[in-house]
Structure 1
């Protein structure tokens, strides 16, 4: 007779430090409450995210901010060390992302949406989708140092909202479901507040100083769709041969 089943392992991977906090930290906090091990990964260290510091200096700052945020959650933080504004879909990139899938061995992956306002997000989405498929193919070699073995299965794959929920033309992007994050929303803001350098960058580059308030407004809008205070929206990748049952929603529902 077998013992209790281990909680599913979660890999959340997006382009830059703070992307995960903005788009799905409330859900990650709920998953941690349900006993799921969580790895938070970023493709880059945010090396273009400053008007004052050089790339190496700001990258060091933003890695530490991401590490502190993940530590608050009790999650592991990993950076794949791509460079800002330079992520592209090629074989070397696929191998690097496949290796992180094999090393973390997730049951469920949350990543960037296929359509968003910038290329780094869209390239991340494509590479993660490919890596989830490639990771279970034993003959696909990542050519990385000390490679992990192939995974046993293709994980459940989910995409977060694009920024403001729209495509390049400002038209709404469909989502499959919204999760109620009301109980973890304030904690989500605390994680996001770890990224102080990004708030300063947005003030300088985009004329925005509503880092936390903007997050609150968008989460409130998504929550209103299902009659709760705060929510986060997701779309599931159900194409062949990815799993089609909604594991994420089942986990949050208990």
Structure 2
């Protein structure tokens, strides 16, 4: 069953200005499921029949069904407060593990809200068409880059993860419009990553950036920007949740590319699995 937001996206092209006004009220109100149809109409400055037309267009049988769906979805999406998931010194292992899970769930929800699906789908098409795929990152982001390269090499083709900034610069200097670069930096201010992504773009490569802010310097280089959101606690200096959400993004890209690569991608993945299986007892 489609969520309220998914129904809106499916009907996006046919929605009227009046219907957009109603949707805005439902999305901005703290508790839209408590609004009567009359109250919603007044807040939206539309007529009640307009509300009826909207919920029918979205596939709901009644206004009550729409309100129940909203209540359920908001309950599922409501993230715990930062204080509730912050790890403290008295937490036992089970509490720490549970809070890690809550933090990751929150990060996934927040990141999903930031996604530009059209831009990401364009990036996926570019990856599929590319002759060479590079992953650039430093520190922990470099580890994520290595993980991404390890996944994508199963699909065949030339896939490289490079940590050394000198090597990155050399590769970037020889790139062209057949290349795709995935640059990863949580802060978006890592100088070496910014420099090599700029160089790659200037030479014609398509640049995908995974970072935590649209305003980051690295974000300005991106042809496709994927913004991750994560709440870090005072006791996580190693930015664990940020790293996990980067890995989740990488898995998402890989899975989407694999599914669009058809039989060729499937055969290459099977060949890769067989090659590794032969190395085991």
* TM beyond 0.5: no
Max Rg structure: 2
Q: TM-score, normalised by structure 2?
A: 0.31
**TM-score normalized with structure 1 length:** 0.33
From the two aligned structures, give the one with the greater helix fraction. 2
Q: Between the two structures, name the one with larger relative contact order (CA 8 Å, sep ≥ 6).
A: 1
